[in-house]
Structure formats: structure tokens, C-alpha cells
Copies of this chain bind each other. A is one copy, B any other.
Amino acid sequence: MSQPILQPIGIVHCDITSREDAPKNYDISDRKGVLEIYPAFQDGLQGIAAGHTIVVLFWLDRSDRTRLLVYPRGDRSRGLHGVFATRSPDRPNPIALSEVRILAIRNNCLEVVGLDVLDGTPIIDIKKKITPEDRPTA
């Protein structure tokens, strides 16, 4: 059985340096940056190409892991919500899930648009986005 200890596969480089400056979600972000994948994991990128939208998991290393209740997007008028009913970066396992579009690939670096995480955030996984074309035909 795998111990639940993550190994970063890369790191984000972008100009988002404070939580206040970060877009509230990837779907409203036009922020560009680079996903640097460490050479030990570069073979895992085979088949990924410019133009693809990919799912990226990040480890939010500056989050508060003790919070279970938050005001969604900091809006106190909405009342407290359980973190699992939100996309708050504060949660017991602070993993962020974003969809970004690849603009260009240079060796182990993916230039992307749609970032909503801080510069220097560890990358822990990349996945193919599921599209209707993935469903088996009858």
C-alpha cells in the first residue's frame, strides 16, 4: 500500500505572488505562466501538446490545514460554509484543481494560461481532461 506522501513533480512560475492577487478560480483566469516539470518525470508528458486543456493538481503549501469552515470567497454575507462545499484553498489536504490551456511546450516546460495559484506552488499531478469524445460508443 502506498503511503500518502506526495512527491512534487514540478513547480509553477508565474507573477501571482499574493492570495489577494490570485484569481478566485481558473475558469475566470487569464493569467499566464510556466509549469516546470522536473526531469525525472518528463517522460510522463508524452502525448501532451500545445492547444490541449489539461487538469493540473497543485499542493497549496501556504494554506491553513486546520480550517473546516470558511466564508466562500471571503464574503461574510454568505455565512460560513464547510470547506468541502467550497473551493477554498484552506482545507485538510490543500490540493488545488485547475484546468489550464497549453500555449507552448519547450522540453520540460509547459507555457499555460488560466493559472490561479501562487508563484512557486508545487505541482503534484497532470491529467487528461475528460471530454464527451472519451465516452465509449454503442
Binding site for B on A (CB under 8 A): 1-2, 4-9, 25, 27-28, 37, 41, 43-48, 54-55, 57, 59-63, 65, 68-69, 80-87, 91-95, 97, 122, 124-128, 130, 134-136
Contact = CB atoms under 8 A, between A and B. Distances in A.
A18 to B, nearest CB: 16
B82 A47 contact: yes
A128 B88 CA distance: 9
Contacts of A122: 4
19 contacts: A1-B61, A2-B60, A2-B61, A4-B59, A4-B124, A7-B92, A25-B134, A44-B68, A44-B83, A44-B85, A44-B92, A57-B93, A57-B95, A57-B97, A84-B125, A86-B128, A87-B128, A93-B125, A97-B97
